[in-house]
């Protein structure tokens, strides 16, 4: 297992390599707001993600700083609070969009028509049964009167 090292224990060559890596990440992900000089090596004792490089980013909404593993740069651009708010906002928009899409409306219409047909079939059967019962009752009343 690799022993953790303090950031001051890294050699100049290692720090230069990390700076070059950070510059590459900033070039690849310019919209993520990577804080310059914030990269930590996998074996740095200050790194909250052991075994992974990590950087700090600034939130696109509020500007707060958040440390993330470099492998998550493609999907993270907000602090945790703003990410939750963004998810809630998108979730409600997506629900409305799904409910009002032509496919969803057609499926709902088909389901409702099927339910209506089933109710009609039940109603028709119940009406026939009631008519049969009335006819039997009329026959029974007619027989006893004679």
Give the pLDDT confidence of 9-33 residue by residue, as tens digits: 788 888 889 889 999 998 998 888 8
Tokens of 127: 């009406």
Check whether 2 has a pLDDT greater than 70: no
Residue 143 is predicted with a pLDDT of 52
Do 78 and 35 fall into the same domain?
yes
Rounded to whole angstroms, what are the CA distances from 19 to 25, 77, 103, 124?
10, 21, 51, 79
Q: Both ends of the chain: CA-CA distance in Å?
A: 105
146: pLDDT confidence band, cut at 50, 70 and 90?
Answer: very low
In a domain, 144, yes or no: no
Specify whether the CB–CB gap between 55 and 25 falls below 8 A. yes
In a domain, 1, yes or no: no
Do 52 and 119 fall into the same domain?
no
Tokens of 32: 């993520």
Summarize the confidence of residues 46-61 as an average pLDDT. Answer: 91
Residue 58 is predicted with a pLDDT of 93
In a domain, 2, yes or no: no
Do 49 and 72 fall into the same domain?
yes
Do 55 and 122 fall into the same domain?
no
Global pTM value: 0.57
Residue 84 is predicted with a pLDDT of 93
Do 108 and 127 fall into the same domain?
yes
Which range marks the domain in which residue 108 is found? 101-139
In a domain, 146, yes or no: no
Residue 66 is predicted with a pLDDT of 93
């Amino acid at each position: 297992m690799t022993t953790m090292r303090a950031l001051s224990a890294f050699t100049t060559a290692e720090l230069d390599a990390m700076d070059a890596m950070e510059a590459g990440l900033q070039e690849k992900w310019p919209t993520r707001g990577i804080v310059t000089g914030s990269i930590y090596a996998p074996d740095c004792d200050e790194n909250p993600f052991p075994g992974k490089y990590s950087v700090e980013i600034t939130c696109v909404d509020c500007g707060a700083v958040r440390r993330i593993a470099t492998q998550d740069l493609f999907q993270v651009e907000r602090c945790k609070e703003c990410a939750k708010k963004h998810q809630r906002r998108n979730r409600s928009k997506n629900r409305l969009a799904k409910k009002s899409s032509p496919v969803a409306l057609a499926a709902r219409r088909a389901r409702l028509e099927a339910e209506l047909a089933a109710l009609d079939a039940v109603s028709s059967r119940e009406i026939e049964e009631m008519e049969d019962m009335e006819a039997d009752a009329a026959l029974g009343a007619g027989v006893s009167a004679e």
